[in-house]
Chain A
Amino acid sequence: MYKVSLLTRDGATIAFDADPSDTLLDAAERANIYLPSSCREGGCGACRVSRASGDVVLMSYSSVALSEDERMAGDILLCRAQARSDLALRAPFDEAAVGFAPVPERRATLVALEPAGSGAVRLQLQYEDDPTFGRAAQFTAGQFIELTLPDGSAKRSYSLANAPNWDGTLELFIRLQPHGAFSDYLRDRAAIGDTLHVRGPQGQFTLDESSAAPRWFVVGGTGLAPALSMLRQMGEFADQRPCRLFFGVNKVDELFALDVIEKLKAALPQLVVTLCVWKPEQEWREFTGTPVEALAQALSSATERPDIYACGPPALIAAAEEAGRAAGVPHDRIFSEKFTAA
């Protein structure tokens, strides 16, 4: 057994023992400490922390989740690392992101399934009443859930697009992949009334409530979902700070949720939305280019440095981080969640 000490961004120390044959994530869970994570197989980077001292071995992982530079700088993935000595770690998240109870597992019924622009669908699920959790959909805006197909054959994680609610409603926007197990189900077999297994909420891509800065969301495709959730929450709370949304797709017919965005503008009168189409194949009056290009333009004339929330494919996140850096937005004011196709 080795001693692991993890220092959170807000200065809390979380300590647990780790058996060298356990991943650090599993070791923490044995101590009833549920650290932020998602895929748990080295693919997403949600459990990345930096190592101040000590040795680990890392099992195989994707370079999307942990780049060579990051690894050289001492970063590790909790789901892939096994302790080889006592460890001192530094986490990029607050203590509030750490769960001290297992992630809830519940059942939900599919109540709506409809197209959301070309190549994507909108899903609405209804939580079943549960003796431990009731029927409430309690989560933090921006979090995701992991869905398991009715036959148990595949699991995928998707961000929630709606705000937490007492009706037990979950709304998701999902891009259909050509040969994805979940996409195939949605395209071919899904029926209203199906029961799906839900593990969640999880994730730390949530609003930094301690910051008073303007909030700018830069999202690509279904990366819009967590931004919608956060903006809807801000709308419900009548948040008055400046906020912007840069929403990008490749083609005009891929745009979706425009009705939701219109309602958001009513709830948040200060919200400025820039719809971006990379390669419009028809007449397009709004921004032509990527949402990060629109972000970079807006940053160049910004009077106040915003917090940037980026969600989409890895390339979009990297570009958004670069644009933020170039405009002098501190690294720790850029929050992101990568979407990887599975």
Chain B
Amino acid sequence: MFCYQCEQTYRSDEAAGCAGAKGMCGKDATTADLQDILLYVCEGVGQYLHHARQLGATDIDADRFILFAFFTTLTNVNFNAAKFVELIQEASQIRERAKALYEDAARAAGATPENLSGPAAFAPADNMAGLLTQASEAAVRKDAAILGEDAVGARALILYGLKGVCAYAHHARVLGEERDAIYATVEHALDMLAREERDVATLLDEALALGRANFLAMEALDAANTGTFGAPTPTSVRVTPIKGKAILVSGHDLKDLHAILEATKDKGINVYTHGEMLPAHSYPKLKAYPHLAGNYGGAWQEQQKEFAEFPGPIVMTSNCLIEPQPRYRGRIFTAGPVGWAGVRHIADENFAIVAQAAQALPGFPEDAPEQTITIGFGRDAVLGVADKVIDAVKSGAIRHFFLVGGCDGAAPGRNYYSDFADEAPKDTVILTLGCGKYRFNKHDFGTIDGLPRLLDMGQCNDAYSALVVATKLAEAFGVGVNELPLSLIVSWFEQKAAAVLLTLLALGVRNVRIGPTLPAFLTPALVAVLVEKFGVQPIGDAKSDIAASLARAA
């Protein structure tokens, strides 16, 4: 295996990347190799779809499959090798269909179909043993000697950015929101990867195109979430358990959460959110369920301890899953793209068995002392008080905004983000999103003129909400987003964060601070481009970074 897609990838002085029997995330070499092959076959699907689209022919089911297939390969999503053997066979069949689509379209247009090569012509074996012998043909760093390190790094940026786009677009799609422009961009990028494009400038342009597609994906997801469940409103959420039977729902998929709430209605079962599911409490149609009882635990990397102590079933609807420990392996369920060999998977959105498990398990024996936090400051909620915010900025009551958001992780350097939030001066407002907030979201930040100083905007994809707010505020002040008294302090871990970063760059947002480390797949030359062209900065020391941000704004 070779994988360096996430922030916690193995790093030494000589090289970076997980290349042993198991990655740092727990993904074994077999699964990693099969994931590479699946993505490679998907590149082949993309080649045909891209060519067909030039001739006016499309296959939306094939596009949908690509979203799902890519989503399964994100960090901490699917670790089940057998599932990838199935997906590769399915991808191969879909590629045949895409091929026929293209060739028919070409002939109909009176042209001779081109013979596409590379992934389009790759013949995957029909069994695991055979596939594993083919892994080197699909490896991320194959042909590094020919392409050059910078091109390999830029291609990795595209591949991982694509994963983020696909994950968000998949979430939006399951709630009925799709954008043809996203599919066109995904196909274009897959075709470019398949062609072994090696011009770094061309590749970086493609990465920015993906950033724009990701903005569309986040917009679609925002439309899907708010369209289905209403616009988030500020909501007080209990973060301590209540006596009684309990289910814990983790991941990002609000549709699955809704199905679980329906399956447990009037059964005396309390449903708790975990990790990135926290924002669910702020959606009117979800919080209308009285048994959506509260939020339990912290960010994903604490799950092995927290899940072991949770007295009911646990459902993982998307990342981040880490190896289920024996103490809870029998009562954790996966859904959607998630999987772990030997863990029960719910493929049909029928969560009756989870309700049954909750009733068979002990639940919480007693109420814990009540403690709450306030969330739900999405774009509507913030823009609803825009006048107040603008006045506070004009009067000097609010000196600066910090968006401290993104993923959490286990790396020690991540205390930077809690230090940053805690040290930010009292006349600054902290916007947050993603699961990185668990490092500080139970701290008391107080208020400014009645406005809370900490505004939780939602999941990582609600970066869209933050961008809408920033754009509106910039309009109100008659300046560009980069001229706002706003600094972005981003923590990244997996590929959705990579896609969000591409979106920020594509929209021209400058001076983003990123950490705890820079992606291992970016070469020094690529980092130099990000620094020079986009003003991206690695994080430093929280106090000095705060001072520097305030000095820039002053």
User: Which A residues are within 8 Å of any B CB, using their own CB?
Assistant: 96-101, 130-136, 138-140, 164, 166-168, 207, 209-210, 212, 236-237, 239-241, 304
Q: Across the interface, do A209 and B330 meet the contact criterion of CB distance under 8 Å?
A: no
A-B contact pairs, 10 of them (CB 8 A): A96-B329, A131-B365, A133-B361, A138-B330, A139-B330, A140-B326, A166-B357, A212-B81, A237-B344, A304-B127
Residue of chain A at shortest CB distance from B326: A96
Give the contact-size bracket for chain B: 20 to 34
Q: Which residues of chain B come closer than 8 Å to A135, judged between CB atoms?
A: 360
Q: Which residues of chain B come closer than 8 Å to A209, judged between CB atoms?
A: 341-342
Which of A134, A210, A239 gathers most chain B CB within 10 Å? A134
**Residues A168 and B341 in contact in the complex (CB < 8 Å), given A139-B330, A140-B326, A212-B81:** no
Q: Which residues of chain A come closer than 8 Å to B128, judged between CB atoms?
A: 212
Contact mask B317-345 → A, CB, 8 Å, 1/0? 00000010111011100000000011011
Q: Which residues of chain B come closer than 8 Å to A134, judged between CB atoms?
A: 311, 360-363
Q: Across the interface, do A240 and B341 meet the contact criterion of CB distance under 8 Å?
A: no
Contact of B362 among A101, A132, A166, A168 (CB under 8 A): A132
Q: Which residues of chain B come closer than 8 Å to A133, judged between CB atoms?
A: 361-362
A219 to B166, CA, bound (A): 47
A167 to B323, CA, bound (A): 26
Q: Across the interface, do A100 and B341 meet the contact criterion of CB distance under 8 Å?
A: no
Q: Which residues of chain B come closer than 8 Å to A210, judged between CB atoms?
A: 28, 341
Residue B82 CB within 8 A of the other chain: yes
Q: Which residues of chain A come closer than 8 Å to B85, judged between CB atoms?
A: 212
Q: Which residues of chain B come closer than 8 Å to A136, judged between CB atoms?
A: 331, 357, 360-361
Residue B359 CB within 8 A of the other chain: yes
Contact mask B21-45 → A, CB, 8 Å, 1/0? 0000000101000000000000000
Q: Across the interface, do B360 and A166 meet the contact criterion of CB distance under 8 Å?
A: yes
Residue B356 CB within 8 A of the other chain: yes
A8 to B1, CA, bound (A): 22
Residue of chain A at shortest CB distance from B328: A138
Residue B525 CB within 8 A of the other chain: no
Q: Across the interface, do B360 and A164 meet the contact criterion of CB distance under 8 Å?
A: no
CB distance from A163 to the nearest CB of B (A): 10
Contact of B129 among A140, A168, A304 (CB under 8 A): A304
**Residues A212 and B30 in contact in the complex (CB < 8 Å), given A168-B360, A241-B82:** yes
CB distance from A165 to the nearest CB of B (A): 8
Contact of A140 among B325, B330, B356, B360 (CB under 8 A): B330
Residue B411 CB within 8 A of the other chain: no
Q: Across the interface, do A240 and B330 meet the contact criterion of CB distance under 8 Å?
A: no
CB distance from A135 to the nearest CB of B (A): 5
Residue of chain B at shortest CB distance from A304: B129
CB distance from B463 to the nearest CB of A (A): 36
Q: Across the interface, do A130 and B362 meet the contact criterion of CB distance under 8 Å?
A: yes
Contact mask B397-426 → A, CB, 8 Å, 1/0? 000000000000000000000000000000
Report the 10 A-B pairs with minimum CB-CB distance, sorted nearest first. A209-B342, A136-B360, A209-B341, A166-B360, A138-B330, A134-B361, A134-B362, A212-B128, A166-B356, A166-B357
A134 to B30, CA, bound (A): 37
Q: Which residues of chain A come closer than 8 Å to B353, judged between CB atoms?
A: 166
Q: Which residues of chain A come closer than 8 Å to B82, judged between CB atoms?
A: 212, 239-241
Q: Which residues of chain A come closer than 8 Å to B30, judged between CB atoms?
A: 212
Q: Which residues of chain A come closer than 8 Å to B127, judged between CB atoms?
A: 304
A133 to B356, CA, bound (A): 14
Q: Across the interface, do B361 and A99 meet the contact criterion of CB distance under 8 Å?
A: no
CB distance from A145 to the nearest CB of B (A): 14
A326 to B341, CA, bound (A): 30
Q: Which residues of chain B come closer than 8 Å to A130, judged between CB atoms?
A: 362
A43 to B376, CA, bound (A): 61
A138 to B361, CA, bound (A): 10
Residue of chain A at shortest CB distance from B325: A96
CB distance from B248 to the nearest CB of A (A): 15
Contact mask B288-325 → A, CB, 8 Å, 1/0? 00000000000000000000000100000000000101
Q: Across the interface, do B329 and A237 meet the contact criterion of CB distance under 8 Å?
A: no
Q: Across the interface, do B327 and A140 meet the contact criterion of CB distance under 8 Å?
A: no
Q: Which residues of chain B come closer than 8 Å to A237, judged between CB atoms?
A: 342, 344-345
CB distance from B329 to the nearest CB of A (A): 7
Q: Which residues of chain A come closer than 8 Å to B329, judged between CB atoms?
A: 96, 140
Which of B28, B82, B129, B330 gathers most chain A CB within 10 Å? B330
Which of A130, A132, A136, A138 gathers most chain B CB within 10 Å? A136
10 more CB-based (< 8 A) A-B contacts, given A134-B361, A136-B357, A237-B345: A96-B323, A101-B327, A135-B360, A138-B331, A140-B329, A207-B342, A212-B82, A212-B85, A240-B82, A240-B86
Q: Which residues of chain B come closer than 8 Å to A168, judged between CB atoms?
A: 360
Q: Which residues of chain A come closer than 8 Å to B325, judged between CB atoms?
A: 96
A132 to B30, CA, bound (A): 38
Residue of chain B at shortest CB distance from A130: B362
Q: Across the interface, do B342 and A99 meet the contact criterion of CB distance under 8 Å?
A: no
Question: Among residues 467 to 490 in chain B, which have CB atoms less than 8 Å away from a CB atom of chain A?
Answer: none
Question: Among residues 452 to 478 in chain B, which have CB atoms less than 8 Å away from a CB atom of chain A?
Answer: none
**Residues A99 and B326 in contact in the complex (CB < 8 Å), given A209-B341, A237-B345, A304-B129:** yes
A140 to B361, CA, bound (A): 16
Q: Which residues of chain B come closer than 8 Å to A99, judged between CB atoms?
A: 326-327
Q: Which residues of chain A come closer than 8 Å to B129, judged between CB atoms?
A: 304
Q: Which residues of chain A come closer than 8 Å to B327, judged between CB atoms?
A: 99-101
CB distance from B243 to the nearest CB of A (A): 12
CB distance from B287 to the nearest CB of A (A): 28
A98 to B329, CA, bound (A): 13
Residue of chain B at shortest CB distance from A141: B342
A168 to B360, CA, bound (A): 8
CB distance from B128 to the nearest CB of A (A): 5
A236 to B343, CA, bound (A): 11
A133 to B312, CA, bound (A): 10
Which of A97, A167, A209, A212 gathers most chain B CB within 10 Å? A212
A96 to B86, CA, bound (A): 27
Residue of chain B at shortest CB distance from A201: B330
A140 to B341, CA, bound (A): 13
Q: Which residues of chain B come closer than 8 Å to A241, judged between CB atoms?
A: 82
A166 to B269, CA, bound (A): 15
Q: Which residues of chain A come closer than 8 Å to B323, judged between CB atoms?
A: 96
A135 to B362, CA, bound (A): 8
